[in-house]
A and B are shown apart, each in its own frame.
Chain A
Amino acid sequence: MSGISRRRFLAASVAGCAATTLAGPKKALAAGSFTGYPDGMGVLVDLTRCIGCRSCEAACNKEQNLPAPDKSFDDKSVFDETFHGGKQKRRPDENAYTVVNRYNPDGSDPLYRKVQCNHCNEPACLSSCFVNAYTKTKEGAVVYNPNVCVGCRNCLVACPFGIPGYSYSSAFDPVVKKCIFCHETRLKNGLPPACVDVCPQEALTFGKRKELIKIGHQRIQTHPGRYVNHLYGENELGGTSWMYLSPVNFDEVGFDPNPGNEPIINNVKDFLGTVPMVLAIWPAMFTGFHLLAKKREHDKNNQDTEKQHGEEGGDQ
């Protein structure tokens, strides 16, 4: 008379298998890094050319049918706005998919930096989304499907550039709002996004990402004094479709100077890799513990009964 019957063991195994099945397919994600679609498009932003005219903001607002801003797009006083005790400049949100900020490194001439979604090759928002609301299109845009979004805002937590905004003020249809590279209205048809189209300074260059990398390095080589020798976004966080050239170190114009070259998804691969192992090993291991515990209990009871000379033994 054993402590655990074959039936109970089988029941435990079946439960374990059921848990495995219920847990859904987990991608092992051990494949090498994805470096972008071969014909993915991108934009090269040259900070030396930007004059802070904010016409890209205005164009974006019109193209995406966003609400009219509090201050007109001609108003340069927005560059003086800071938030949270001066610790933060303007950032994209539900009402503005792109913003331009002014920086004055070392009191020299001001530099302007356009901020929008960088359209990562391996987007953190996409990999953190549990309903697969995000898609990296073959044209290079990271687009969002509001029809499946539950509103957990994990993408806002995950985005290393602080880009997505959430329409918190909406009670019945709150969604994530972010730059989608004008995918529906322009990019799909091979057209540059509205902001690039309108830029009077050619600070924004639209093209295939692969070509833009070459152009970026050419500019650095041709004008070694004008740029720091770095094309931001070429490798950062797995590479982004939007890349930047700057005359000063990138941390002086509000970039995270060292985000690493690993895409965000690599941080969770270790954990996701352990999932199937736990699912497979735990049932046998803990059922084994149970058998050991039962055996010991059983033996102990037997000993006790032997001492008591022939009273009924066993633990069941």
Chain B
Amino acid sequence: MKSLIGWGSKPVDSHVNEKTDQQWSLFRKLMLGLTPGQYLGQALRNPFNWILGIIFAIGLPLIAYRFIFGLSAVTHASNDYPWGLFLGFGLFTMVPLSASGFMLGTAVEIFGRHDFEPIERLALLNGLLGYLFAVIYLLVDLGQPWRLPYPMVVSFGPAAVLFLVAWHVATYLSVQVAEVSVSFFEWIGWLGGKRFIRRIALGLTVSGIILSTLHQGALGALFNYAPGKVHPLWYSGSFQWIFFFCSSIPAGLSMVIAVSTVVKKTMAWRCDDNFKENLDRCTLGLAKGASLALITYLAIKLIGVAHDNEWGYLATGWGAWFLFEMAVGVVLPIILFAYAIRHQVVAIARVGAFVTIFGIVLNRLNTTLIVFNWNLYQEIPHIFEVIIAVTLFAVYVVVYRFILYRLPIIFSWKEQPQEALAAEAARPAPIKTSNAPIGAMYRKID
């Protein structure tokens, strides 16, 4: 794509082809304004696509294999470890990493932090895709995935935590589709839909917060069903859901930083100036939010240890593993973020974000797989299970990239003059506020 731009091609960012003054057809929009030959050529020149191709060549047949021969063909099919990588990574990790949608929605729509607007759409999309793929991982893992709608329409178990997760994830997925659809409506040029979503944006955001609070927490509360199986240091009878909810906040924010870093490095041609110029400032802002949430998380984890009087466990091997998770996954990013914010070094904040993500992945895999059945035996996932999990993640990356290339997520859609005027009137001007709750503490320190 880069080289094509060098030759004078310009990625689609409006309804009208500037060279010919004609409306782009939907097909040409999908082709990014290139001819099919050009499109195929640039796709084949990208070495990353070849890596993806290799992953798909191995992984997709394995997924078919799993559906023909059952779960035991690709997993260790254990009655002691009913949940393996598909849920341990796909559901329990992808969902907190996708908390970005409701976090940025809250900051912009509720707290009026319009200075985060350049990155809001990326955060919303990150949320939507994360949840979508959490459901896809779930479909691969469920014994009878075609019965997924059963808790909604056939048989209800309303006293079960999973019932809440199912309903909330389904509802929240719809909310996120609505939130992201604004970009889609701009892309296809249907402004009525855009205006409608703008009108209900506040309602959508508030329901997003409610649903997120509850199902992020509910994923933790699921482990309250297995009090004897999860190691005490990772288990808390009273606070498990708060741990999961609280840690989802830095997870979601760090994911936005990480994704925007990758985007900036690999698809700079697609970012517009507004995104590029504001990214560093937004990154530091997100880092402030993430570090406050991490400090809170560290504090409540300590309270958790004190509340259940688990100090004795810290001296054991499991305790060392717990301290490692806390030191690398929580304390280290706090230090990195603090340094980055104090000295305005965006690169360090980005490193901090990747470390935070590592910490969250470690925490969720610990809870679901590593310290689960801690006094039984250790499950090592089947190699096919690992390959399928990687393949699904590769599909996630492809879908993510497909949308970022086309929909106005990291660039603004150039509206027709009269539309632009209408939008100008309807939207408050972006204001750089300096007295908003997130980050207030750091400003005092400064």
Binding site for B on A (CB under 8 A): 4, 8, 11-12, 14-16, 18-19, 22-27, 29, 83-85, 87-88, 91, 93, 124, 127-133, 145, 148-154, 156-158, 160, 162, 164-166, 168-171, 173-175, 256, 259-260, 264-265, 267-268, 270-272, 274-275, 278-279, 282-283, 286-287, 289-290, 293-294, 296-297, 300-301, 315-316
A124 and B160 CA atoms in complex are apart in Å by 10
C-beta contact mask, B277-312 vs A, less than 8 Å → 1, else 0? 000000000000000000000000000000000000
Docked-complex contact A149 and B431, CB < 8 angstroms: no
Interface residue count on the B side (C-beta < 8 Å): 76
Whether A130 touches B82, Cβ cut-off 8 Å, given contacts A174-B70, A264-B227, A267-B224, is: no
* A23 surroundings in chain B (CB, below 8 A): 164, 167-168, 171, 214
* B217 surroundings in chain A (CB, below 8 A): 271, 274
A145 and B147 CA atoms in complex are apart in Å by 14
Docked-complex contact B112 and A297, CB < 8 angstroms: yes
A109 and B428 CA atoms in complex are apart in Å by 83
Select the residue from A128, A156, A274 with max chain B CB neighbours within 10 A.
A128
Docked-complex contact A267 and B237, CB < 8 angstroms: yes
Docked-complex contact A15 and B209, CB < 8 angstroms: no
Docked-complex contact B163 and A151, CB < 8 angstroms: no
Q: Which residue of chain A lies nearest to B142 when distances are taken between CB atoms in the complex?
A: A151
B79 on the A face (CB < 8 A):
yes
A251 to B: closest C-beta gap in Å: 12
Docked-complex contact A168 and B75, CB < 8 angstroms: yes
A162 and B142 CA atoms in complex are apart in Å by 20
Which one, A149, A162, A168, contacts B72 given CB within 8 A? Answer: A168
Whether A271 touches B77, Cβ cut-off 8 Å, given contacts A148-B154, A173-B144, A286-B209, is: no
B210 on the A face (CB < 8 A):
yes
Stretch at the interface among B47-55, B185-193, B197-205, B398-406: B197-205
Lowest 8 A-B CB distances belong to which pairs? A151-B143, A15-B203, A168-B77, A84-B377, A153-B82, A171-B70, A158-B225, A156-B82
* B111 surroundings in chain A (CB, below 8 A): 289-290, 293
Which one, B70, B142, B199, B241, contacts A169 given CB within 8 A? Answer: B70
* B144 surroundings in chain A (CB, below 8 A): 149-151, 173-174
A131-B155, A279-B214, A286-B205 known, 14 other contacts, Cβ within 8 Å: A15-B207, A23-B214, A85-B377, A88-B80, A93-B79, A151-B143, A162-B80, A271-B217, A278-B214, A282-B213, A283-B207, A286-B209, A289-B110, A290-B111
A175 and B222 CA atoms in complex are apart in Å by 21
B376 on the A face (CB < 8 A):
yes
A183 and B166 CA atoms in complex are apart in Å by 31
